[in-house]
Structure 1
Amino acid sequence: MPIATVNPTSGETLKTFDAFGAEEIERRVAAAADRFRHYRTTGFDERARLLNRAADLLEQDAPDIARTMTTEMGKPVAAARAEALKCVKAMRWYAQRAEDLLADEHPAEADVTDSGAAHARVHYRPLGVVLAVMPWNFPLWQVVRFAAPALMAGNVGLLKHASNVPQTALYLEDLFRRAGYPEGCFQTLLVGSGAIESVLRDPRVAAATLTGSEPAGRSVASIASDEVKKTVLELGGSDPYVVMPSADIERAARTAVTARVQNNGQSCIAAKRFIVHEDVYDTFAERFTAGMRDLTVGDPLDESTDVGPLSSEQGRADLEALVDDALERGATALCGGARPKEYERGWFYEPTVLAGVTDAMRIHREEAFGPVATLYRVGGPDEAVSLANDTPFGLSSNVWTRDEEDVRRFVRDLEAGGVYFNGMTASHPALPFGGVKRSGYGRELSGHGIKEFCNVTTVWHGPEPDSRTS
């Protein structure tokens, strides 16, 4: 895939970039390794000063970088601004809290004594150069939620961003440079996917984090495993959105629309499978479908647009194939199911609701990355749990209920990294984020995320020699 900005609204190639050659890659890896030896010794106050400065600059830049993101990958510009400001929030959150999150831990005195120590503690040290392989769908947020905790922990970063958001990738490197970070702390690698293996195998690179597709995750995990290097993977999702009889159906249906079409439906944590109890199915389906049908599809730089184009022509083709397969096998499109007729250019697709989906259809198993929802009717909580878990993914989940027994049941039995009740899944710096099954492993954000790329070090001190026996 060429490294280029291709406007998904028009299909026009706006700017292309040459991939870095071996000499430039080596220069950047060497700079990162050299910088780590010094940066790791800086104090939390200095790291916080730098990260807060980056947050201030990003806040000022938000309108401009939002337009760049929208031009590169098609998200509505209002959502792009919100993404930039969410990054500002996360930067400031880690700048304020990292020292406490990584404070030494002290085992119980009885356990220390039992170990034979005079005193002992657990200390967190940075690992080193971390390679981040990041996707295009949240081109700022996905990077910052790795970079902010990694830099505050004393690591340095190398970013291999998606090839269709090169200007956003270069902006991030420039942002940290303008904030005053020393050369080598955070660098962008303008390279294709074929260059990842050699960088990851380089002994100067300590670990890797990847957000992206399952095949990409398998590849990075395999290489890292061969090199015995730590990885964190956040892969695909096919999140269930369960609606039980006690739910506030009006709110559930209204929120469901946003949960499905956020980021033009191109989000791993977007609700995708809507599992509705038969007692409220008809009411929910009617209101949800009406909400999806009423969305404004159009130019993502227009402030009134709800849903812009998909990020690429191939992405739209993949989504169309899933919908067409479902329709051919008996599903019904309650709305949508095709390209908007008014858009001959660009990679638009109508907000779509499919009913009558069965396990014979590809969309039942595969992630639909676009504004397409699947509706299921179930008879009770047992069937809802079984259907919700009937997927290879386990990123997050949403449940609408006011019944405490339902709450206990779904927390216990849903196979997912998160269970969100009476609301939609959203990432927040204070809450751990990640999945199970083929959605990956490890966690981002919160104290769990900052510790992922730390050396958890046991510091043990033996008792002083008894002077009477020495």
Structure 2
Amino acid sequence: MSQAVEAAPVAHPLADEVAALLESFGAELPRQAEGSCIVRSPLTGELIVRVQETSPDEARAAIGRAHDAFLAWRQVPAPRRGELVRLLGEELRANKAALGRLVTIEVGKIVSEGLGEVQEMIDICDFAVGLSRQLYGLTMGSERADHSLMEQWHPAGIVGVISAFNFPVAVWSWNAALAFVCGDSVVWKPSEKTPLTAIAVQALAERVIARFPEAPEGLSTLILGGRDVGEVLVDDQRVPVVSATGSTAMGRVVGQRVAARFARAILELGGNNASIVCPSADLDLALCAIAFAAMGTAGQRCTTLRRLFVHDSVYDALVPRLKQVYASVSVGNPLEGDALVGPLIDEAAYTGMERALAEAREVGGIVHGGGRHTHGVAPGGFYVRPALVEMPAQVGPMLHETFAPILYVMRVRSFDEALDLQNGVPQGLSSSIFSNDMRETSRFLSATGSDCGIANVNMGSSGAEIGGAFGGEKETGGGRESGSDAWKAYMRRQTTAINYGRAMPLAQGVKFEIADEGSAKA
């Protein structure tokens, strides 16, 4: 379902480029479009396009088409479904540069990160193609004579995908590539802040579906809008799986509403990620890893490093160097130079950062950096200096996630103290340790170590690969997407017992003999 977009009514350098990019993907560009979804590029803060929103009734109709598509798609052999995903990967390869640039324009990521996000899409397509021939079940030994016992996996139905602005296309692909090979259809509601990249990806998907004979109309569907449209997707009984990425507050609502109708929720929510620097750490390596993990994507990754616990013995050797990096890192428009830190997504993100820094000061935090960056950038963009905050204790803003480049640093005197602090927050997405001590790293990865879904050694908290299942524990939601056996969330499990004998033995030794001499005896 192509979406209608209309170029901004005022001249703007990015407006024509956005229109050309969308047109190259095959998105419709009518002269007039009704709707209230206004898209501003964080690079300049100016209006670049208007996008027609989906009404609740239109969303329900789209779900109906997706349901019909599922009924047909589930009958296509899984390896053949994988072929469609292979072609999608090829389409993404051919359009990587253009789609990556659109990500930069719409989200503000630096160019390499925009391209990297599209590469994630390509990688998960490759993974899913192989998976299409590996949807394995199990066979088990039966306790009953002349019986076999096995489990098999069947397509679940429609997969509803609700994605956040910070990874506007990769999150869709983590879900959609797996869903397609599993025999599901997909309905996608992207963030209302980033509809353009979604429109582009939907157009590319439709291009592939149109030339794939077995692919039904409605296999990939896009709905645009805010909470009212999202609620339709969350509440519809025809959607057995909802994968939602966003804040913990959003996840509480989505999780409860999906559970109320006994559907399945895959929740990827807040991250308040930490790293521990031990006495044996390679400080040069740690410095580089911490800098990217904390400042990459302007601190707007769910895996962004937000808390750093440094052992007293190396604190004075590492933290001053880290302060220098923060003071010198380049901030600016990624399309106009080699800046490593682009803008925040909007004014609300800037206000949230300022509020968190004020809270840190109130509890005794010493702030280095922070504040609005205005040199050489458009005044409408919300560029900031990344902030490093030395904290006396884990209190105040350290206990919650602020989606901005703020790194809270604390001095610790033991590994156990650092581990307790790391685990002592409600979130549980990603974590890491810098150490060359095998006992410390092994403990960190053990059942008594990090309580997060991701635990890294001698690297930062961000930059997950698609081969491993992605997700976290506690208030992060417990969901898993992408690699490993995450595909099982997109299918329904069926346990099957087959009696190939002539008797009717019951499990657990139960006896139930009936008085019919002509029947099989139980």
TM-score (norm 1): 0.95
1:31 to 65, 72, 75: 65
For structure 1, list consecutive stretches of 5 or more residues without a partner in the other structure. Answer: none
Q: After TM superposition, give the deviation of residue 135 of structure 1 in Å.
A: 0.2
Partner of 2:393: 358
- Matched residue, 1:211: 245
**Partner SS, residue 157 of structure 1:** strand
Q: Which has the larger radius of gyration?
A: 2
- Mapped to 2, the partners of 1:456 and 1:447 lie a distance apart of 17
2:74 is aligned to 40
> Partners of 2:326 and 2:124 in 1: how far apart?
31
- Does the 8 A contact of 2:81 with 2:132 survive in 1? no
Q: How many Å separate the matches in 2 of 1:190 and 1:40?
A: 26
- Residue 451, structure 1, aligned to residue 488, structure 2: yes
Report the counterpart of residue 460 of structure 2 in structure 1.
Answer: 424
Q: Which residue of 2 aligns with 1:14?
A: 48
Conserved 8 A contact 1:136-1:165? yes
Task: Sort the Cα spacing of 1:116 and 1:273 in 2 relative to 1 into closer, same or farther, 3 A.
Answer: farther
Aligned mate of 1:465, from 484, 492, 502? 502
Counterpart position of 1:433: 470
C-alpha contact 1:116 1:463 (8 A) present in aligned 2: no
User: Which of structures 1 and 2 has the larger relative contact order (alpha carbons within 8 angstroms, sep 6+)?
Assistant: 1
- The 3-state SS of whatever aligns with 2:497 is strand
Per the alignment, in what secondary structure is the counterpart of residue 139 of structure 1?
coil
Q: 1:414: which partner in 2? A: 450
* Partner residue, 1:167: 196
Instruction: Please point out which of 157, 162, 183 is paired with 2:217.
Output: 183
Residue from 277, 281, 295 that aligns with 1:247: 281
Cα contact 1:87–1:141 (8 A) shared by 2: yes
* 2:38 corresponds to 1:4: yes
- Where does residue 162 of structure 2 map in the other structure? 133
Question: What is residue 269 of structure 1 aligned with on the other side?
Answer: 303
Equivalent residues of 2:202, 2:221 under 8 A apart: yes
Q: The residue matched to 2:249 in structure 1 has which SS?
A: helix
In structure 2, runs of 5+ residues without a counterpart are 1-34, 210-214, 505-517
Are the aligned partners of 1:4 and 1:166 in contact in 2 as well (CA < 8 Å)? Answer: no
Q: Determine whether 1:198 maps to 2:235.
A: no
Percent same amino acid among aligned pairs?
A: 26
Tell me the equivalent position of 2:13. Answer: none
Tell me, yes or no, if the aligned pair for 2:163 and 2:191 is still in contact at 8 Å. yes
SS of 2:131's partner is: helix
Counting only pairs closer than 5 Å after superposition, residues 69-468 of structure 1 correspond to structure 2 as: 69-100=103-134, 102-107=135-140, 109=141, 112=142, 114-115=143-144, 118-180=147-209, 181-334=215-368, 336-342=369-375, 343=377, 344-361=379-396, 363-412=397-446, 413-425=449-461, 426-465=463-502
**1:80 Cα shift?**
0.1
Q: CA offset at residue 75 of structure 1?
A: 0.8
Would you say the 8 A contact 2:120–2:466 is kept in 1? no
Amino acid at match of 1:161: P
* 1:317–1:211 Cα change, 3 Å: same
Counterpart code for 1:417:
G
Amino acid at match of 2:100: A
Cα separation, 1, equivalents of 2:51 and 2:460: 38
1:398 CA displacement: 0.6
Question: Structure 1 residue 360: deviation in Å?
Answer: 4.0
TM-score by length of 2: 0.85
Cα separation, partners in 2 of 1:164 and 1:368, compared to 1, 3 Å:
same
CA distance in 1, matches of 2:392, 2:427: 18
Distance in 2 (CA, whole Å) between partners of 1:2 and 1:439 is 32
User: Is contact 1:357–1:364 with CA below 8 Å preserved after alignment?
Assistant: no
Is the Cα–Cα contact under 8 Å of residues 76 and 303 in structure 1 kept in the other structure?
no
User: Is the Cα contact below 8 Å between 2:234 and 2:242 reproduced in 1?
Assistant: yes
Per-residue CA shift, 1:345-386, capped at 9, x if unaligned? 31111011111243443x211112111111110001111011
8 Å contact 1:254–1:288 — kept in the other structure?
Answer: no
What's the CA shift for 1:218? 0.7
- Equivalents in 2 of 1:307, 1:116: separation in Å? 66
Secondary structure, counterpart of 2:430 in structure 1 = coil
Q: SS where residue 441 of structure 1 aligns?
A: coil
Deviations 1:281-315 (A, max 9, x none): 11110222222222110002235110000011101
Letter aligned with residue 274 of structure 2? P
- The one-letter code of the counterpart of 1:165 is T
Q: Are residue 52 (structure 1) and residue 86 (structure 2) matched?
A: yes
Say if 2:72 and 2:216, in contact at 8 Å, map to a contact too: no
Q: Secondary structure at the match of 2:367?
A: strand
- Residue type matched to 2:114 in 1? A
Q: 2-side partners of 1:210 and 1:92: how far apart?
A: 23
CA RMSD of aligned residues (A): 1.9
In 2, the alpha carbon distance for the partners of 1:167 and 1:420 equals 34
Aligned residues of 2:38 and 2:49 also touching (Cα < 8 A): yes
Contact between 1:207 and 1:231, CA under 8 Å: does it hold in 2?
yes
